[in-house]
């Protein structure tokens, strides 16, 4: 779903456009602002895909706003509204790509068509067939492989020489600066086909890496690699120094990454038919702390509410609570056991079981004294026990008993016990994800209940729980069965009816208490929900009370 921001200093125009686009069957998440400054605050908080704005406004006009839009979100499309006598403004606007202008006298149908055209342009940008072709050409290049091998080594190193690091980055063609910290991003690629081969999965991950490069290059310097578990890792630095403090620059870069990875997710689904779950660090990490940060970000990817599909979450990797938790990565020596650990970590149930069955079938005919099979059994048992301990599921899975290998005429029974524990782990994990999702949604509902008269935009609520707005909207709908906006409207309507039942407050005061700054907006909302104005409802309620 795309996000559109409507900006006009005349409230009646802004609210009217909101009403019109709200009633259209368009995949748009709508926001509004009554000035360029107010619009700029929103643009700094979240990604916006389309801006519909008056071109001539006081203090900050549309052209100045356009500069900020292109600085924060280069992919954003702009539709300017203008009068006949503003040709100079129009002339400057049409010199920019991705900008349309409409005369205010042309009417709503033309305006709606302009917005549809902007949405079509965004869809076409998602496909990026030329980038996919570039990805295929680079799949097996030495540079890509060398960079991946180097960072896989770096993530597991115990000591780091900064001078050697700079030399290595330069020799490998990596444009990151060894003297500056980096932001870490972890991505899990989920293919639509659960039986996809390892080679196809690896190719899909590489395609996602190459597809993301042009999006990230607009504001950052980045390198993406595939780690030993088949997941994507990006190391990112701001591409240019912005005006202001370093903390502000970091905040702007994080917000850019949150919005841009949402676009990358949409592009992956549209062009590759794969989903991408993203976790990014909210703080820049020093190079020497990368091994610890890498382990922690993998852990935070696991501790997500819901299944994580199309989620972008920003996390702190410096929580004190992290200090006592065991490392995330399972560092098994066997290649297939390591792949199974990867599937277990990412929650890929079917892939894990397919590989397990392949191994179990291969050793089914071995005698009970086979050392290789005994080693394989204990390798898998220790893996399951490790995850049960880390997820605190010992009592729910029976993993402790796996280390007491009983005598058996064949290996079928012991491996069947391993499989049972593995299936239980996956089931309990899914239950835990659902429980965390329910807790998160209830936290959002409690906040809404306590702040019903305040800004309850999707962006504000997403900021409160540190998720991207699209994922919060999807998570809420999954848990409650209806949209977040519907929940807020019903709550505001119920509160408004309670307040209107008393004549102590004016209608405008009631509207303000339930989150509507202007009486006109409150009246429109109330009439849409009840087919009567607030005053008509109050009169009817008073008549009902007097008849009792």
What's phi and psi for 357, nearest 5 deg?
-60, -35
CB within 8 Å of 51: residues ≥ 6 apart? 4, 5, 7, 39, 65, 69, 76, 77, 78, 79
Q: What is the pTM of this model?
A: 0.66
- Res 489: pLDDT: 94
Q: How confident is the model at residue 150 (pLDDT cuts 50, 70, 90)?
A: confident
**Is 89's pLDDT higher than 80?**
no
Q: Which of 301, 308, 304, 340 is nearest to 422 (CA)?
A: 340
Residue 331 has pLDDT above 50, yes or no: no
Residue 362, pLDDT score: 77
Place of tokens 């080693």: 375
DSSP-derived 3-state class of residue 182: strand
pLDDT for 61: 87
Structure tokens that stand for 223 in this block: 């390198």
pLDDT above 80 for 82: yes
- The half-sphere exposure of 99 on its side-chain side, counting CA atoms within 13 A, is 23
- Would you say residue 68 has pLDDT above 60? yes
494: number of Cβ within 10 Å: 12
Residue 81: phi and psi, rounded to 5, are: -100, 130
Q: What is the mean pLDDT of residues 402-420?
A: 83
pLDDT score, position 390: 79
Arithmetic mean of pLDDT, 301-325: 70
Q: At which residue do the structure tokens 């995850």 appear?
A: 387
Contacts of 337 (CB under 8 A, 6+ apart): 376, 379, 380, 383
- Round to whole Å and give the CA distance between 463 and 455: 12
Angle at 429 between CA 424 and CA 432, to 5 degrees: 130
Euclidean distance between CA atoms 524 and 451, whole angstroms:
21
Q: Report the share of the chain in percent with pLDDT over 90.
A: 41
**pLDDT for the residue 85:** 64
Read off φ and ψ for residue 427, nearest 5 degrees: -65, -45
Closest CA to 500 of 546, 539, 530, 449: 539
Q: Outline where 139-275 has alpha helix (H).
A: 142-155, 162-171, 198-217, 246-271
Q: What is the pLDDT of residues 349-373, one digit of tens each?
A: 898 998 888 888 877 777 766 777 8
For residues 103-129, give the mean pLDDT: 86
What was the pLDDT predicted at 262?
A: 92
pLDDT 10s digits, 439-489: 999 999 999 999 999 999 999 999 999 989 999 999 999 999 999 999 999
Confidence of residue 320 (pLDDT cuts 50, 70, 90): very low
Q: What are phi and psi of 310, to 5 degrees?
A: 65, 20
Q: How far apart are CA 417 and CA 194, in angstroms?
A: 24
pLDDT interval class at 173 (50, 70, 90): confident
For residue range 222-273, list pLDDT tens digits in order.
Answer: 999 988 888 999 999 987 644 455 677 888 899 999 999 999 999 898 888 8
C-alpha 534/C-alpha 514 separation (Å) is 13
Is the separation of the CB atoms in 524 and 15 below 8 Å?
yes
- Provide the 3-class DSSP secondary structure of residue 194: coil
* 273 φ/ψ sector (left φ>0, alpha ψ -120 to 50, else beta): left
Give the contacts of 6 (CB within 8 A, at least 6 positions apart). 14, 17, 18, 21, 30, 31, 32, 33, 52, 53
DSSP structural state of residue 29: E
Considering all CA atoms of the chain, what is the largest pairwise distance in Å, rounded to the nearest integer? 92
Distance CA 178, CA 542 (A): 72
| Average pLDDT value for residue range 66-70 | 91
Q: What is the mean pLDDT of residues 10-37?
A: 92
Task: State yes or no: pLDDT of 299 exceeds 90.
Answer: no
Average pLDDT over residues 97-119: 90
Q: What is the pLDDT of residues 175-199, one digit of tens each?
A: 999 999 999 999 999 887 877 888 8
User: What are the tokens at 31?
Assistant: 């926001």
Asked if pLDDT for residue 523 goes beyond 50, the answer is yes
* Residue 18 to residue 491: CA distance in whole angstroms: 20
Residue 6 has pLDDT above 80, yes or no: yes
Q: For residues 272 and 132, what is the distance between their CA atoms, to the nearest angstrom? A: 9
The residue behind tokens 């900050």 is: 60
Q: What's the mean per-residue pLDDT of the chain?
A: 84
40 or 330, which is more confident: 40
pLDDT score of 92: 64
What ranges make up the beta strands (E) of 209-325? Answer: 220-226, 232-238, 274-281, 312-315
Q: Quick one: pLDDT at residue 184?
A: 96
- SS3 breakdown of the chain: % helix, strand, coil, rounded to 5? 60, 10, 30
pLDDT(325) > 70: no
Phi, psi dihedral angles at 182 (to 5 degrees): -130, 150
Structure-model confidence comparison of residues 85 and 54, the more confident one: 54
Q: Identify the pLDDT of residue 129.
A: 52
Residue 506 pLDDT > 50: yes
Residue 308: both structure tokens together: 């994580």
How many CA within 13 A on the CB side of residue 385? 13
Average pLDDT in the 55-84 region? 88
- β-pair type (99-103, 77-82): parallel
Return the pLDDT at 333: 34
**Spatial distance between the Cα atoms of 318 and 79, rounded to a whole number of angstroms:** 42
One-letter-per-residue 3-state SS of 477-505:
HHHHCCCHHHHHHHHHHHHHHHHHCCCCC
The pLDDT > 70 percentage for the chain reads: 87
Unique residue bearing structure tokens 């979100």: 73
* pLDDT number for residue 404: 78
Q: List phi, psi (to 5°) of 79.
A: -120, 115
């Amino acid at each position: 779903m795309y996000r559109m921001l409507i900006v006009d200093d005349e409230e009646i125009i802004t609210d009217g456009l909101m009403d019109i686009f709200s009633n259209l069957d368009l995949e748009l998440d709508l926001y509004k602002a009554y000035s360029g400054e107010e619009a700029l605050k929103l643009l700094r908080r979240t990604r916006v895909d389309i801006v519909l704005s008056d071109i001539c406004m006081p203090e900050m006009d549309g052209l100045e706003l356009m500069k900020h839009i292109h600085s924060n979100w280069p992919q954003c499309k702009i539709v300017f509204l203008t009068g006949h006598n503003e040709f100079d403004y129009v002339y400057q606007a049409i010199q920019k790509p991705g900008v349309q202008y409409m005369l205010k006298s042309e009417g709503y149908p033309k305006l709606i068509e302009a917005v549809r055209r902007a949405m079509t342009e965004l869809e076409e940008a998602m496909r990026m067939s030329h980038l996919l072709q570039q990805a295929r050409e680079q799949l097996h290049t030495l540079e890509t492989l060398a960079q991946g091998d180097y960072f896989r080594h770096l993530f597991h190193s115990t000591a780091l020489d900064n001078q050697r690091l700079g030399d290595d980055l330069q020799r490998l063609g990596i444009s990151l600066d060894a003297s500056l910290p980096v932001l870490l991003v972890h991505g899990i690629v989920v293919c639509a086909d659960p039986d996809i081969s390892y080679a196809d999965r690896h190719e899909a991950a590489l395609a996602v890496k190459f597809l993301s490069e042009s999006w990230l290059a607009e504001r950052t310097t980045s390198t993406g690699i595939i780690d030993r578990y088949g997941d994507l890792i990006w190391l990112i630095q701001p591409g240019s120094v912005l005006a202001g403090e370093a903390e502000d620059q970091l905040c702007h870069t994080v917000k850019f990454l949150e919005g841009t990875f949402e676009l990358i997710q949409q592009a992956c689904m549209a062009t590759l038919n794969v989903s991408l779950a993203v976790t990014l660090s909210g703080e820049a990490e020093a190079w020497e702390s990368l091994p610890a940060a890498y382990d922690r970000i993998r852990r935070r990817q696991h501790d997500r509410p819901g299944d994580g599909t199309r989620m972008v979450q920003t996390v702190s990797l410096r929580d004190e609570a992290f200090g006592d938790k065991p490392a995330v990565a399972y560092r098994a020596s066997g290649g297939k056991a390591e792949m199974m650990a990867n599937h277990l970590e990412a929650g890929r149930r079917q892939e894990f079981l397919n590989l397990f069955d392949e191994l179990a079938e291969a050793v089914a005919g071995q005698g009970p004294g086979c050392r290789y099979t005994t080693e394989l059994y204990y390798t898998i048992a220790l893996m399951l026990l490790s995850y049960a301990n880390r997820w605190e599921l010992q009592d729910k899975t029976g993993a402790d008993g796996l280390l007491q290998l009983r005598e058996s005429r064949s290996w079928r029974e012991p491996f069947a016990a391993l499989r049972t524990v593995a299936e239980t782990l996956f089931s309990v994990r899914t239950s835990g994800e659902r429980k965390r999702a329910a807790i998160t949604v209830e936290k959002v509902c409690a906040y809404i209940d306590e702040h019903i008269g305040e800004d309850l935009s999707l962006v504000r609520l997403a900021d409160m729980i540190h998720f991207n707005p699209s994922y919060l909207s999807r998570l809420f709908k999954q848990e409650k069965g209806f949209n977040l906006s519907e929940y807020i409207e019903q709550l505001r309507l119920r509160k408004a009816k309670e307040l209107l039942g008393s004549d102590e407050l004016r209608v405008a005061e009631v509207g303000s208490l339930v989150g509507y700054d202007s009486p006109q907006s409150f009246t429109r909302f109330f009439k849409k929900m009840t087919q009567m104005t607030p005053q008509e409802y109050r009169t009817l309620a008073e008549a009902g009370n007097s008849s009792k």
